[in-house]
Every structure is written in C-alpha cells, then in structure tokens.
Amino acid sequence: MLSMSPAMSAGQAGRYFSKEDYYLRSTELGENSKWCGEGAQALGLDGPVREEEFRALCHGDGPSGKRIVNYNKTHDKAADAAVETHRAGNDCTFSAPKSVSIAYAAGFDSAKDAHDAAVGSIAGYLEKHHSFYRSPSGLQHGKLVAAKFDHTTSRHTRTSTRSCTRISSS
C-alpha cells in the first residue's frame, strides 16, 4: 500500500528529522537506506543516505551546497517583507501486507526482496509519469531524487515491513 503525506516546508522537514530522528532512527545506514532515481544519480547521490546530504536536499541545495531549487517569494504581512518559501517534498510510505512482514520476520528474505522490487517498480513509475517541475518555459519532465529508508517495525514496535521514501522537490 502506498500512502503519501502532505508536503512539508524545508524547515518542517528539518525539524521532523531532528525531533523524531524518524528516518535514521535505529537503522544501519549501509543496510537500510539508499538514494533512488535518475535525479539522485545525476547529483552523484548513490548508496546509503547521509544526513548532511538529506538535510541539504530538504533545503533545496545539492550535495555540493549549491542551490538547485529556486525558492518562491511571498509577502509576509506580519514582517512586511518578502520571504522565501520552499516545499521540501513529499513522504511516501510503501507498506507491505502483514503476511509479507511476518514472512520476512520469520526469515524468508525473499519476502523483503519482493517488497523492494515492488517499491522500485512504483518509484520508476512515479519518475516516468509524475516527476515534473515548472520553469520559465513551462512544465518540464524532471528526474526523481528520493531517499528510501527501510523499517521492519512500526513506531509501536509491531512487525511492519515498509519503506519510507522522501521524494525531494529538487
């Protein structure tokens, strides 16, 4: 099952990461996270997700620190000033059926392999059909930049195989 959260601003995403440490909580980065999408590859993001790179993308910066997203300018009435805003992206959670979670917990690694294949297939579909951005010349097809974090338990420590994927607005 795929569920998507509402978009967060860059500040909200950074605070969520710091407060809950949700994405990296109790994970071994080498095993449980990875960069996905052609956009991630184009930025040189490959292999496990590192916190610095993740935070930079939430703020619209590439791994080198260079701004890769133009912020929207809005007027803050309280401050009577122009402020920059940036939607950091969306969270997509790919949850395996309970039977798959139990099979994986019981030692059937092929259950997790099937889940990973399904997530990869859906991410590819999203990249091909739903990855767009606005430019001065109109709507353009983009490339997906996503950080995937695998979890095997829920926040309540119940068996739950799922992949939390942060798709950046980059």
pLDDT in tens, 17-36: 555 555 555 444 457 889 99
SS3 call for 16: helix
Our measurement of the distance from residue 36's CA atom to the centroid of its chain's CA atoms, rounded to an integer in Å, reads: 9
Q: What is the pLDDT of residues 53-106, one digit of tens each?
A: 888 888 888 888 888 877 777 777 887 887 767 677 788 899 999 999 999 999
Read off the pTM.
Answer: 0.78
Determine the pLDDT at residue 94: 93
Separation CA 130–CA 142 (nearest Å): 9
- Strand-pairing partners, residue 154, are none
DSSP for 96-162, written as a single string = --HHHHHHHHTT-HHHHHHHHHHHHHHHHHHHHHH-EEEETTEEEE----EEEEEEEE-TTS-EEEE
Separation CA 22–CA 44 (nearest Å): 24
